[in-house]
Chains A and B, each alone.
Chain A
Amino acid sequence: MKKRIIALFVAVLLIFTFTACSNDSEAPDDTGADKSGNDENSKEPTDSGEDGEDVEISVTWWGSDTRHTITLDMIDAFEEKYPHIKVNPEYGSPDGYWDKLATRVAGGTAPDVIQFGGNYPDYVDKGALLPLNDFVGKEIDLEQFDQDVVDAGTMDGNLYGICLGTNMLTLVYNKDLIERVGGELPPETWTWEEMEKWAEGLAEKMDSGYFPMSDNSKSQTNYLGYFLRQRGNSIYRDGEVAFEEQDIVDWINLWEGFREKGLVPDAETASAYPETGPDTSLFVEGKTALILIYSNQVRAYQDAMEDELSLTLLPKGEETAAWIMPSQYMTVYSKTEHPNEAATFINFMVNDPEATSILGNERGVSSSAEVRELLAESSSPVDTKVYEYFNVATKDVKPMDPNLPNDQEFNDTFKLILEKVAFGQIDAEEGGKQVYELANDLVEKAGRD
């Protein structure tokens, strides 16, 4: 018995090892590529863009399966057009993307072309990204770009990020749920008061455990930014904190008012469903009727639900506050050995007709109305709704403000402070004070580096 089992074990082991070997023998291709990839680091910098010598650049991005597939197709098209440039795609999930990027930048071996979100300024501060000014008009053509979108990728007068698509905040409501309880559908546009009234009307008709709105007071700070911009302020503008303690107190009181009236979930439920994505959303479970998300998330939310979703504008205020924001940027690593090729690649990605038709609107909606119209003809009902929303919403926008430095820390700690208020540990005044101090500390911290 014993021997038989050992024999079995050895057999299993051999099979495994064999599989491993066969894997290994398939691998030389990769290892070869990898070795030359490493050699690349030791090569002398060359201006190979001009003499057409073969170079390799690596490109990194995060995303879903769809994004990976189309980006790889786009890279094929690029390599066909520029046979002397080989592109090493290094893609992955957003989980761990930043850990890895920070480690690689610290090790001095980051990829040549890097996809960023709104947090690119944190890397600019630390000298990790290359200013692209010199390439504009040569490798990089920005003719077709909105000035706002170009500005969004600009910091201290230098261009760092090229926008890959745009995004807007949107309110999404669960049409079927509202109709089931016999409530009114939200109008196309409304004020904060009208929104509250609508929610009160709906709350009366809903059973316990159901709420008119998800708690978006802290799921991300852009809603707060929107609120501040309506009063002429912002989270961060011109290199400093651009709000007062009282602004935050008002924001907190607005939401705590909703909470007392049962228009948003209680503190406990809200912390169980942080609304960071469909997997942590009370809205997706069909228990709330209205939620704030980005326009590029609408499809993911709709895919996770059976009920039909529709979009509406954020509540109006005194001043125009909405903004079009780049969903992602492409940037170049400051220590790249092939800046020209990297720039050429980014330009191809955003301007080449073949590339843009392959990439479509996966990284965000086109900021051009004509392109949207063109795409709308062949798109799914959800996408059509997003385009229609864009057509309306983009009519009333203002340039975006940059993220606060140390954006992630601001988001996390802001959430913690508002949670303290919701759980009754501190009052709104104290919350306002803490958020104000936090923002100033973080700006100071970035300046210190």
Chain B
Amino acid sequence: MKKTLQVGEGSVLNQQSALKRLWKKNAIPYLFLAPWLIGFFVLTLYPMINSLYLSFTEFNMLESPKWIGMQNYIKMFTEDERYLKSLSVTFKFVFISVPLKLFFALMVALLMNRKMRGIEFYRTVYYIPTLLGGSVAIAAMWRKLFSSDGVINRIIYMLAGIEAPNWIANPSYALYTLIILAVWQFGSSMVIFLAGLKDIPKEYYEAAQVDGANKFQSFIHITLPTLSPVILFNLVMQIIMAFQSFTQAYVVSNGQGGPLDSTMFYTLYLYLKGFYYFEMGYASAMAWILLLIIAVFTAIIFATSKYWVSYGDGRD
């Protein structure tokens, strides 16, 4: 302000027109942005800041919080074995389930994108596991499926003659049953891929065919690049959601994360700490560490995206 005033009348005009330009540039975009912006300031910001504050306190939810500085954060990494265990369980879950899930979702989406009799029916069938979501019924079913005399083991016995363990109850395998559960519910990613595939103009493929490209080549040179914004979306969102995975572990393990904490997901532990062990301050600290972890991964993915994501608008 001061600076421009010193220079003289001309620059006041300049400044006015700069403001005008700013207004002209921003008025309509901010109009479109308004719902989210209002929502952020009215609904989201306060709870976020409040939880950040609580993360520096001891807070049992029922009495007022007591400031304890960094203690929650220190305790987390120095004293709390269960916390570290939940961290490693979650990392393992994310790094195995997300790539598998996306791979399946993409493959099935390609399969489902064909013109074929009964395709609508198949598509729905493949979405059914996702429709069931994290319902209580799923938990009971999943336990039965992987139990020692469940269907899975009967098939293994038929094929290989081996008596397999009770997968859900075995500390070495329990997490993998939840990974399978997550991968099996690939429907949401599949639908998003399908929507993305629908957006690829047929002309691209026709042109490639004229150029003599085979199916694999057109997949690599047309499908993947055109689909890359959607792949980026699925990758980022699946990572965020996998880190926050809660419902499935909660219902399958009866809210216990067992056996031996082998399915104690990060948010499950956070939830137990907050609501059942009355340490909401500690839970808030855990939540902010998780935010930090997710943010780092997301930032890395976004940073690399300029090398592999291409947009129709030509920007990156």
A–B in direct contact per CB < 8 Å? yes
A-facing residues in B268-294 (Cβ within 8 Å)? 272, 275-278, 280
The residue of chain B having its C-beta at the shortest distance from the C-beta of A442 within the complex is: B277
Given known contacts A98-B276, A268-B170, A419 and B260 CB-to-CB distance under 8 angstroms: yes
Asked if A238 CB lies within 8 Å of chain B CBs, one says no
Given known contacts A127-B63, A279-B140, A406-B277, A268 and B256 CB-to-CB distance under 8 angstroms: no
Across the interface, which residues of A come within 8 angstroms of B280, CB to CB?
Answer: 106
Bound together, the chains give a CA A406 to CA B66 distance in angstroms of 19
**A280 and B275 form a contact (CB under 8 A):** no
Partner of B61, one of A105, A406, A419, A448: A105
- Which DSSP category, helix, strand, loop or mixed, fits chain A's interface? helix
Partner of B62, one of A99, A127, A270, A425: A127
**B168 and A420 form a contact (CB under 8 A):** no
Q: Tally B residues with Cβ within 8 Å of A.
A: 30
The count of A-to-B residue pairs whose CB atoms sit within 8 angstroms is 81
Chain B's nearest CB lies how many Å from the CB of A381?
28
Asked if B134 CB lies within 8 Å of chain A CBs, one says no
Bound together, the chains give a CA A84 to CA B254 distance in angstroms of 43
The residue of chain B having its C-beta at the shortest distance from the C-beta of A128 within the complex is: B62
Chain B's nearest CB lies how many Å from the CB of A137?
29
Given known contacts A102-B62, A105-B61, A272-B168, A419 and B275 CB-to-CB distance under 8 angstroms: no
Partner of B256, one of A98, A274, A420: A274
Given known contacts A268-B166, A268-B170, A406-B278, A415 and B256 CB-to-CB distance under 8 angstroms: yes
Asked if A307 CB lies within 8 Å of chain B CBs, one says no
Given known contacts A408-B277, A412-B256, A412-B272, A126 and B62 CB-to-CB distance under 8 angstroms: yes
B-facing residues in A3-23 (Cβ within 8 Å)? none
Asked if B187 CB lies within 8 Å of chain A CBs, one says no
**A98 and B275 form a contact (CB under 8 A):** yes
Partner of B169, one of A122, A272, A406, A412: A272
Asked if A305 CB lies within 8 Å of chain B CBs, one says no
- Which DSSP category, helix, strand, loop or mixed, fits chain B's interface? loop
**A272 and B166 form a contact (CB under 8 A):** yes
Asked if B147 CB lies within 8 Å of chain A CBs, one says yes
What 0/1 readout, one digit per residue, does chain B (31-67) give for beta carbons within 8 Å of chain A?
Answer: 0000000000000000000000000001011110000
The residue of chain A having its C-beta at the shortest distance from the C-beta of B165 within the complex is: A268
Partner of A425, one of B58, B136, B256, B260: B260
**A449 and B254 form a contact (CB under 8 A):** no
Given known contacts A268-B166, A279-B140, A449-B63, A420 and B277 CB-to-CB distance under 8 angstroms: no
Asked if A384 CB lies within 8 Å of chain B CBs, one says no
Q: How large is the interface on A (under 10, 10 to 19, 20 to 34, 35 or more residues)?
A: 35 or more
Across the interface, which residues of B come within 8 angstroms of A356, CB to CB?
Answer: none
The residue of chain B having its C-beta at the shortest distance from the C-beta of A270 within the complex is: B169
Across the interface, which residues of B come within 8 angstroms of A103, CB to CB?
Answer: 61
Given known contacts A99-B275, A268-B166, A423 and B171 CB-to-CB distance under 8 angstroms: yes
Q: Which of A102, A123, A272, A409 has the most CB of B within 10 A?
A: A272
Across the interface, which residues of A come within 8 angstroms of B149, CB to CB?
Answer: 209
Across the interface, which residues of B come within 8 angstroms of A448, CB to CB?
Answer: 58
The residue of chain A having its C-beta at the shortest distance from the C-beta of B147 within the complex is: A272
Across the interface, which residues of A come within 8 angstroms of B272, CB to CB?
Answer: 412
Across the interface, which residues of A come within 8 angstroms of B166, CB to CB?
Answer: 268-269, 272
Given known contacts A274-B254, A408-B276, A408-B277, A102 and B61 CB-to-CB distance under 8 angstroms: yes
Bound together, the chains give a CA A412 to CA B165 distance in angstroms of 24
The residue of chain A having its C-beta at the shortest distance from the C-beta of B260 within the complex is: A419
**B256 and A105 form a contact (CB under 8 A):** no
**A416 and B261 form a contact (CB under 8 A):** yes
Across the interface, which residues of B come within 8 angstroms of A126, CB to CB?
Answer: 60-63, 278
Bound together, the chains give a CA A270 to CA B63 distance in angstroms of 39
Partner of A276, one of B169, B170, B254: B254
**B169 and A268 form a contact (CB under 8 A):** yes
Bound together, the chains give a CA A420 to CA B258 distance in angstroms of 11
B-facing residues in A72-119 (Cβ within 8 Å)? 95, 98-99, 102-103, 105-106
Across the interface, which residues of B come within 8 angstroms of A449, CB to CB?
Answer: 60, 63, 278
Q: List 17 A-B contacts (CB under 8 A).
A: A98-B275, A102-B275, A102-B278, A126-B62, A126-B63, A268-B166, A271-B169, A271-B260, A274-B256, A276-B254, A406-B277, A412-B256, A412-B272, A412-B276, A415-B256, A415-B258, A449-B60
Besides A105-B61, A106-B61, 4 more A-B contacts (Cβ < 8 Å) are A126-B278, A272-B143, A420-B260, A423-B171
On B, residues with C-beta under 8 Å from A are 58, 60-63, 82, 136, 140, 143, 147-149, 165-166, 168-171, 254, 256, 258-261, 272, 275-278, 280
Which 8 residue pairs of A and B lie closest in terms of their CB atoms, listed nearest first?
A: A272-B169, A126-B62, A271-B259, A409-B277, A271-B169, A106-B61, A272-B166, A408-B276
On A, residues with C-beta under 8 Å from B are 95, 98-99, 102-103, 105-106, 122-123, 126-128, 209, 268-274, 276, 279-280, 406, 408-409, 412, 415-416, 419-420, 423, 425, 448-449
